Amino acid sequence: MRYRISLVGLLVMVWLAGAVGISAQGAAGEIPTFRGDVARSGVMPGPGPDGADIVERWRFAADGPVYSAPAVVDGVLYVGSVDRNVYALDAAHGEERWRFAAEGSVSSSPAVVGGRVYVGSDDGNVYALEAADGTEVWRFATGLAIYSSPAVVEGTVYVGGDDGTLYALDSETGEERWRYATREEIFSSPAVVDGVVYVGGWDGNVYALDAETGEERWRFATERNVFATPAVVDGVVYIGSWDANLYALDAADGTQTWRFATGGPISSSAAVADGVVYVGSDDEHVYAVDAASGEERWRVKAGGVVSSSPSVAGSSIYVGSWDRNLYALHAEDGSERWRFMTEDTVDTTAAVVDGVVYVGSADGNLYALEAAKSGTGTPGATPTGG
């Protein structure tokens, strides 16, 4: 089944398209939440398949586009689809273990913490499911759709809503602890670091809130809507805006450290690793920017809009484009290692672990890609360097 959606609707679903006493930081070899960790750094455990000869290990066909970014925990992959299902798949073989039918599409990316799966839906509910079998534990009804991806930290689930509200919910019971209202929708997914929740608002502001009480610590106004998710690394908040700028803000008080101008709106969420910030832009480029100075290190032209958020694993950057490709780029200079073409746009974050890249596409498939082994896999990648 194919779905038709507007440009804004596509971007919404893309980004937003990620346990008591436990936070979603992830054990080695696990990706429990959107962007890899609750700081939303974009750093994956890896390793990734860096050679030029890449093949499909498997693909799983949903009944609608996959804008949700997969979580990978204990050998199981969890992902949502516009077809209204949350899926649990065997990470090694792609076999379905269970599916949960929500009442609306699922473009939110699951967080898997303490044996539970937390995810939002455009039916307005935040769901908590048993990771073992998909049984619903609780649901929390908000005013409108949930495209934001939950962050689960020390027994609290933080998630933004289309009703302009950031919610803090008890992870065990689903009871509301506090809420904070902005002026417009929250498509951004919250980052939680050192007792502070950071999130972008469609009203153009970046917010810092006390994680315990929800009280505002500071806000920073950009010049247009903020769709992206903040990455909070080494005391700095990195976030793009539809005003075409990537911002570096002091995490303590919101003071601007620098801004970097691209040629188009930024829906991509930044990845930060080894002193470099990586981000995509609607101007069809992927940028590498010095984290300290804001100076450009390199840029690479893709074949379409880059609303996908880069993932970093080892010396490679993995990022999708509206030209239907997933790209693997050298972190040092942006040179292309390989590209893999799907049948529609690649908008979401790739999960990279144990030599495999897992990524969804608007073509309705979830792909598992690995380095070629003699006599195995399905060819599909175009090698462009070693």
Span between the terminal Cα atoms of the chain, in Å: 38
Rounded Cα distance, 297 and 277, in Å: 10
What kind of fold does domain 7-383 have according to CATH?
Methylamine Dehydrogenase; Chain H (2.130.10)
- What's residue 290's pLDDT? 98
Amino acid identity, residue 310? P
- What's residue 295's pLDDT? 98
Structure tokens, 38: 């609750």
Structure confidence by residue, pLDDT tens digits, 179-222: 999 999 999 999 999 999 999 999 999 999 999 999 999 999 99
> Vertex 40, ends 248 and 192: CA angle to 5°?
90
Residue 16 Rama label (left phi>0; alpha psi -120 to 50; beta): alpha
C-alpha distances (whole Å) from 337 to each of 352, 366, 385 are 15, 21, 5
- What's residue 381's pLDDT? 57
φ, ψ for residue 15 (rounded to 5)?
-90, -10
Contact 231, 271 (CB under 8 A): yes
Secondary structure (3-state) at 14: helix
- What's residue 142's pLDDT? 97
Q: Which positions ≥6 away from 148 have C-beta within 8 Å?
A: 16, 108, 120, 159, 160, 161, 186, 187, 188, 189, 190, 199
Place of tokens 């005003």: 243
Contact 222, 245 (CB under 8 A): yes
pTM of the model: 0.91
- What's residue 379's pLDDT? 52
- What's residue 143's pLDDT? 87
Which of 291, 328, 326 shows the shortest CA–CA distance to 313?
328
Residues (pLDDT < 70) of the chain are 1-28, 374-386
Rounded Cα distance, 126 and 116, in Å: 13
User: DSSP secondary structure string, 34-68?
Assistant: TTSSTT---B--B----SS-EEEEEEEE-SS---S
Rounded Cα distance, 329 and 313, in Å: 11
- What's residue 22's pLDDT? 34
Contact 284, 18 (CB under 8 A): no
- What's residue 65's pLDDT? 98
| Dihedral over alpha carbons 346, 350, 355, 356 (to 10 degrees) | -50
Q: Which positions ≥6 away from 271 have C-beta within 8 Å?
A: 35, 41, 42, 43, 231, 277, 278, 279, 309, 310, 311, 312, 317
Rounded Cα distance, 183 and 203, in Å: 6
Domain ranges of the chain: 7-383
